[in-house]
Amino acid sequence: MRIRIAECTVRYEGRLDAYLPMATRLIMVKADGCVAVHADGGAYKPLNWMNSPNTLSQDGDTWTVVNPKGEKLIIEFGEVFFETSREFGEDPGLQKDGVELELQRLLAENPTVIEDGLALTRREHPTPVGPVDLLCRDAAGGTVAVEIKRRGEIDGVEQLTRYLEFLNRDTRLAPVRGILVAQVIKPQAKLLAQDRGITCVEVDYGTLKGADSDLLRLF
Amino acid sequence: MRIRIAECTVRYEGRLDAYLPMATRLIMVKADGCVAVHADGGAYKPLNWMNSPNTLSQDGDTWTVVNPKGEKLIIEFGEVFFETSREFGEDPGLQKDGVELELQRLLAENPTVIEDGLALTRREHPTPVGPVDLLCRDAAGGTVAVEIKRRGEIDGVEQLTRYLEFLNRDTRLAPVRGILVAQVIKPQAKLLAQDRGITCVEVDYGTLKGADSDLLRLF
DNA sequence: AGTTCCATGTCGCGG
DNA sequence: CCGCGACGTGGAACT
C-alpha cells in the first residue's frame, strides 16, 4: 500500500463528472491498484476513487487512472506533505455471522410463531423465479408461501408476488396465499402487500430466540 | 487524521458479529472520529469500520470504539510499524454533475425532449407507493407518467408499473400511460417495458444540457 | 428523529 | 460477462 498526504485537485469523468478543488487529502493506492482519495471526515467513503482493475500513469505532478470502461480519475498534486509505502501480505479476510439465515432457520423450526396452526412443508422450495423461503400448510389445509426478510420493504412484496404467480399455476398447490415475515415492515410495503392480499407478520428476534431455546430445553 | 499501520485483530459487535484474525492493516481515524480498518486490497471499502458519532477509548494495545446505538469495534494491536497524524482543514467538497436529480430538472424544463407535444403537469406527483417523477399531458390530452433514471433497468420498470397501477384507479386521470426515460436502457428493461405497454426513451445528457442552455439564453 | 429514495453504490452468487 | 439480491448498505432530503 502506498500512502500520500498532499494538496491536490481531483477530476472524475465516468458514470458522472465530478471535481474536487485544491485541498489537503490522503491518497491511498492499494496492492490491487485501486485508488482512493480521502478527506479528513465524512465517514469511510472516499471523496473520489477508482477500483481495480485499472492502470495508473504518473506524469510529473499528475496521476491519471483509467479503467477498462474508459472511466478516468485525474489527480493533480500541489505540495506533498508525506509519503510512505509498505507491503501488507495477504489478508485472512472477514468472518461474518449472518442474521437473515438464522432468522429463516428459527422460523422454519417454529412456524406457529408466524401463524397459529402453520406447519412447514419445505424450506427453499424452488420456483422458476427463485426459491420460496418457506412453503407451509395452514390450519385449514391451504398452501402458504412465506417470504422472510430482516426488513420488510416493497422489494420483498414484489418478490413474494412473483413466487405466488408461479405457485398458483401449479394445480396441485393452488390456491396459494402469501405471508411476508420480517422484524420490521415499512408502511409502504404493508400497503402494497394488503393491496395484493398478502399478509404481513412482524416477529421479534429476541422472542424467537427464546422460543427456540425453550424448544431445545424439552429434549 | 491519524494513520497507523500495524498488526491487529478486529472484532465488531453490532448489526452482526464479525472477526478479523491478526494481520497487517492500515487504521485510519478521521477528524470526525470515524474509524476504518483497511486491508491492502479489495476496493475502497474498509474491512471493518465505525462511523461517527462514536467514542474511542484506548487501553494499552486495545482500542474500543462504541457508538450511541451500542455497536462496538474492538481493535487489538500487535506490532505497530508506523504511525502519523496531521490536520487537513475543512474540505471544499465534491461538485457533481449528471446525477438523476439534475436529469429530472432538465427534463421537467424541456419535456418535449421526451416526446413531441408533451407538457408538464406536476413534478414528484405523489401516489400511495411513492412520487411519480413527472406527470404530464401528451399532445392528445392523455395523462402520462414519466419515470426518470440515470440508467434504465428492470427495477425502474417495476417502479413505474406500480405507479401506473395506482394512477389508473383515479378516474380523473385514467387512462394513464407510462414512459421510462434514461440515458441508457438495458435490453431486458426494454423488453419488460414493451410487455407492459411502457414506452422507452433514451436521452443524451449533453444534448439536454445544450437545450437547457439555449433556453436560458433566450431570457 | 423517523422515513424515503438515490448511489460513480459495492459485493457476492448463479446462469 | 450479466442479472439479481443483500448490505453493519451510506447519505441526503424531506416530514
What Å distances lie between residue A90 and A36, A51, B125, CA to CA? 20, 18, 52
| Distance between start and end Cα atoms, chain A | 54
User: Which residue in A75, A91, A129 has the most chain B C-beta atoms within 10 A of its own C-beta, making it the best mutation to test that interface?
Assistant: A91
Of B56, B50, B45, B1, nearest to A40 (Cα)?
B1
- DSSP code string of B118-155: -EEEEEEEEETTEEEEEEEE-TTS-EEEEEEEEEE-HH
pLDDT in tens, A34-69: 999 999 988 899 999 999 889 999 999 999 999 988
Average pLDDT value over all residues in chain A: 85
Nearest to B16 among A1, A43, A99 (CB): A99
- DSSP code string of A36-93: EEE-SSSSSS-SEEEPSS-EEEEETTEEEEE-TT--EEEEEEEEEEEEEE--------
State whether the beta carbon of A196 lies below 7 angstroms from any atom of strand C.
Answer: no
Of A12, A15, A29, A3, nearest to A76 (Cα)?
A12
pLDDT in tens, A90-100: 887 776 655 56
pLDDT in tens, A107-153: 888 889 889 999 988 887 877 666 788 889 999 999 999 888 777 77
Evaluate whether B193 touches B182 at the Cβ level (below 8 Å): no
Q: Which residue has the cell 395523462?
A: B143
Q: Quote the Cα angle for A84-A90-A92, to 5°.
A: 125
CA of A184 to C1' of C2 (A): 14
CA of A186 to C1' of C3 (A): 9
pLDDT in tens, B109-162: 889 999 999 999 988 888 877 888 999 999 999 999 999 998 888 888 888 988
What is the SS3 assignment for A110? coil
CA of B117 to C1' of D9 (A): 41
State whether the beta carbon of B160 lies below 7 angstroms from any atom of strand D.
Answer: no
A18 interaction partners in chain B (CB closer than 8 Å): 94-97
pTM: 0.74
Evaluate whether B190 touches B159 at the Cβ level (below 8 Å): no
